Amino acid sequence: MAEEYAKEKNIPKQSARKVLEKRLKILVEQGIVERLITYPVSYKLKKLPKILLLPFSKKFRLNESFD
């Protein structure tokens, strides 16, 4: 995943890895994804409450963009 992101953004692989780790940490803190205890490290999308998916909800737009 880091290699693809690095190619897309034209940045070094190590920098891409750091960016992705930071973004995943934010998503974990927001309760959107959870880290699995497997090796290599894996994440899965949590089941989100419907209120987050409704367009009239203020929480629909996350303050932290991925890119």
DSSP character string of 9-25: HT--HHHHHHHHHHHHH
Low-confidence ranges of the chain (pLDDT < 50): 57, 60
Quick one: how many helices (H) and strands (E) in the chain?
Answer: 3, 2
| Res 58: pLDDT | 53
| Full-model pTM | 0.59
Residue 62 near residue 30, CB atoms below 8 Å:
yes
pLDDT at res. 53: 63
- Do 64 and 26 contact (CB within 8 A), yes or no? yes
Per-residue pLDDT at 65: 58
